């Protein structure tokens, strides 16, 4: 059942805290006299629908991301998959990571994730069956119940695992996104070519010498 669903996927969306990270949120007092830049500078990266944020002149938020998940985004791109995040919190750290990874969709401050999910589908011209969503907590359930391929990370709440089509081997922040991307690409028969393209772009001379 999971494989049949994964074969249809063209878009991979995911939560941040507990999925891209281990769920830990580090809050540090901002140094006296230091002000942060505005959290958002693009409309596509902004929302005010019940999100969680704080005054960045007072606090600095830090998160830890896994490099394996960064590679997963590159592999997804080479395999023809669109990617994006939908998260309730609003974080400049997430914005920076999203830009670094060149995600196709970045939606922060979202309490109503299902509406945003449907808007993304409309923008991409896709059916819900062509989208995967990776979550870890109950706020992710509405999207997981309506997407084509619902995935729970290993550290997800039991209620979330119970409604997932697949549970990753790795925990959030430890390469769980990589598990999902590789699973989808493998089922679609695209993983080897995606890896080859990834290596060729980073080691063009080595790649040519082996041909």
Catalogue all structural domains in the chain, each as residue range(s) with its CATH number.
2-209 (3.40.50.1000)
Which parts of 51-202 fold into alpha helices (H)? Answer: 67-78, 92-101, 113-124, 141-146, 158-162, 176-187, 191-202
Dihedral sign for Cα atoms in the order 151, 15, 86, 95 = negative
pTM for the whole thing?
0.85
Question: Is pLDDT at 143 greater than 90 in this prediction?
Answer: yes
Question: Is pLDDT at 36 greater than 80 in this prediction?
Answer: no
Reported as a single tens digit per residue, the pLDDT across 174-191 is 999 999 999 999 999 999
CB 104 within 8 A of CB 86: no
CB 166 within 8 A of CB 149: yes
Q: Cα 85 from chain centroid? A: 4
- pLDDT band for position 41 (50/70/90)? very low
């Amino acid at each position: 059942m999971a494989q049949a669903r994964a074969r249809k996927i063209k878009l991979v969306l995911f939560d941040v805290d507990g999925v891209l990270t281990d769920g830990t949120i580090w809050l540090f007092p901002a140094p006296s006299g230091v002000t942060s830049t505005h959290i958002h500078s693009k409309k596509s990266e902004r929302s005010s629908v019940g999100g969680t944020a704080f005054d960045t002149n007072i606090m600095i938020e830090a998160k830890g991301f896994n490099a394996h998940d960064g590679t997963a985004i590159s592999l997804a791109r080479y395999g023809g998959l669109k990617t994006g995040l939908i998260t309730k919190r609003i974080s400049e750290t997430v914005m920076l990571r999203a830009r670094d990874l060149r995600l196709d969709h970045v939606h922060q401050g979202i309490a109503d994730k299902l509406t945003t999910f449907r808007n993304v589908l409309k923008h991409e011209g896709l059916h819900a069956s062509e989208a995967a969503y990776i979550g870890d907590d109950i706020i992710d359930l509405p999207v997981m119940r309506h997407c084509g391929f619902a995935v729970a990370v290993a550290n997800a709440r039991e209620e979330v695992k119970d409604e997932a089509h697949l549970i990753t081997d790795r925990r959030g922040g430890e390469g769980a996104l990589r598990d999902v991307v590789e699973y989808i690409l493998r089922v679609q028969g695209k993983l080897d070519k995606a890896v080859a393209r990834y290596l060729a772009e980073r080691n063009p001379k080595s790649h040519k010498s082996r041909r």
